[in-house]
Amino acid sequence: MRAYVITTTDAEGYPVGVTASSFNSVSLEPTLVLWSIDKGANSHETFENAEYFAVNVLASDQVSTSNNFTSRGQYKFANAQYSPGLGNTPIFDHYAAQFECKTWAVYEGGDH
């Protein structure tokens, strides 16, 4: 199973990241992707208001990175190597694939 870490910056410019359990292609023209975040996540509001975000698709040997970004209450980027991407969004230096995105729409659905 693939792991996806979605990253953005908060209102103060600090990096924010979360491991997503779902990530899908929605459309090729225009290019659109979909991912979901739990409404109870500490970073829910940050992502809901983010203009830009990145999808970092992790390689099979990056399980510890995925696990790190599922945790709450700690600085998740302490051991992550990243660079600024589109809109200053953190993008990982090591990944299997990567998508730099601009938010097109946010939809509410159930608990996500």
* pLDDT interval class at 29 (50, 70, 90): very high
Residues 44-73 have a mean pLDDT of 92
Q: How far is 53 from 56, CA to CA, in rounded Å? A: 10
pLDDT of residue 20: 92
Domains, in order of start, for the chain: 4-102 (2.30.110.10)
* pLDDT interval class at 111 (50, 70, 90): confident
Q: How far is 86 from 99, CA to CA, in rounded Å? A: 10
Residues 37 and 18: beta-carbon distance below 8 Å = yes
pLDDT digits (tens, 9 = 90+) for 61-102: 999 999 999 987 678 998 889 999 999 999 999 999 999 999
| Percent of the chain at pLDDT exceeding 90 | 77
Please, which residues have CB within 8 angstroms of residue 77's CB and are 6 or more apart in sequence? 15, 17, 90
pLDDT at 22 over 90: no
CA 46 to chain centre: 11
Span between the terminal Cα atoms of the chain, in Å: 21
